[in-house]
Structure 1
């Protein structure tokens, strides 16, 4: 009897934080999960912030993450379709995933039709109302001039500086308890509801919030946040009929 293939979604692993030693434990757990889903995965969507920091120079990428990258290459070579969405921590990705792993990389939410269901999928940062400070900062970080100037820093300095600043974020270090803000204040919920005024979607799937949640945004549409692999170790799976949130 043929195995029913499934579609998996995961985000916000933040490998590299808060320390290499602590990150490696989470890395090993994630690799074990990837190994387990290999037998029944049709598609894997990685929704951003796989790394706590990632910057691609023309000839250099950050050191480490060999187990994760090797396992992704193994899944891809075995026939699993993989899609990668950059997050706010790995937004300086270039073509490494595409050339080395043959994994397409997206910088904005994308529409997919999966088993006759319509999905809008992305990382989730900078969407919806508010958070104007971050939106201004993102424009600076993604500006071609900013990226060009940063590339002039030696990788030992550039990567080290970014990692130092990133782990000061309490959310990534695991010291901050993320709270549900309520449907009227969850900006991704508001974003989904606005998108429904433009087009019908069956499912919205995002990360970024580090908080697993499932919310009906209309009678026929659901928003799901995949949580993270820092505190919750949650992921989503679509079996062709239902989209479910699970914990590993």
Structure 2
């Protein structure tokens, strides 16, 4: 993807809309929608790196109630011709084809590489990568198993959503974010993962969410790991102007 001078690529992650309750998250949703409305003026593309919702499950004909302002704004932006890319997180990993069908927003279930103005980006949510998250990695295998998803679809949505929302808040293996404290550059496991990926080939930027911490770690003179933070306490986002990548606060 190439884009002209004056245009920018935006990145955001970890909104957890609906947590701890929909009413409590409503002000955060309005702030996020206002940010989307602001950046559409000069956005060449927008990358959302997962956990937009604290829980999301797509039944055959049912999606979770709420989040109308967010979905409407994303539809408006997508319809205007600005591409939006969505990466599932550990809280919304059961996303299927709703975003693609209704909003024309592609959904990625794994980290992917993008070339943006000749800079190589490795982009993903970050859950299950690197040496940490071992308990979650085991649980993710269960949650993504087609049989488990089929069984859950047979639970009435009112019951299934209530169970899932409870576990999403209470179960730290699902959350995967109970240790949102800086571990030191040498111990940050997504930085370790990025260093390992650099052994395969060069990437200019590794962009992840999941850690709920705004982080910038220089991996080598020409490669950087950036964690986007969250929209719960930090309200941070990434912006790439075609040359440099920065973290900013809204």
Residue from 202, 205, 210 that aligns with 1:203: 205
Q: Residues of 1 paired with 2:170 and 2:20: CA distance?
A: 8
Asked if structure 2 preserves the Cα contact closer than 8 Å seen for 1:216 and 1:223, the reply is yes
Report if aligned partners of 2:5, 2:242 keep a CA contact under 8 Å in 1.
Answer: no
What TM-score does the superposition give when structure 1 sets the normalisation length? 0.95
Give the aligned length: 245
Query: Following TM superposition, by how much is the alpha carbon of 1:132 offset from its aligned partner in structure 2, in angstroms?
Result: 1.7
> In 1, are the aligned partners of 2:127 and 2:133 still within 8 Å (CA)?
no
User: Which ranges of structure 2 fall in alignment gaps of 5 or more residues?
Assistant: none
CA offset digits 1:14-64 (Å, max 9, x no partner): 000011111111000000000000110010000000000000001100000
Aligned to 2:80: 78
For the residues of structure 1 that align with 2:208 and 2:39, how far apart are their CA atoms? 20
For 1:130 and 1:47, the matched residues in 2 are separated by 19
* TM-score in terms of structure 2 length: 0.94
| Mapping of residues 202-221 of structure 1, within 5 Å | 202-221=204-223
3-state DSSP of counterpart to 2:58: coil
Partner of 1:155: 157
Matched residue, 1:40: 42
Structure 1 consecutive aligned stretches of length 4 or more whose deviation exceeds 3 Å: none
RMSD: 1.8
- Residue in structure 2 matched with residue 6 of structure 1 by the alignment: 8
Counterpart residue number, 2:105: 103
Q: 1:178 and 1:215 mapped to 2: Cα distance?
A: 16
The farther-off stretch of 127-136 and 99-108 is 127-136
Mapped contact 1:54–1:93 kept (Cα < 8 A): yes
Alignment correspondent of 2:29? 27
- Displacement, 1:168? 2.7
CA contact under 8 A between 1:11 and 1:227: conserved in structure 2? Answer: yes
Q: What are the Cα deviations for residues 212-240 of structure 1, in whole angstroms up to 9, with x where unaligned?
A: 00000111100000000011000000000
Counting only pairs closer than 5 Å after superposition, residues 38-187 of structure 1 correspond to structure 2 as 38-168=40-170, 178-187=180-189
Extract unaligned runs of 5+ from structure 1: none
- Say which SS state the counterpart of residue 156 (structure 1) adopts: helix
Q: Structure 1, residues 83-122: CA drift from partner, whole Å, max 9, x if none?
A: 0000000000110000000100000000000001000000
Q: Is the 8 A contact 2:216 2:227 kept in 1?
A: yes
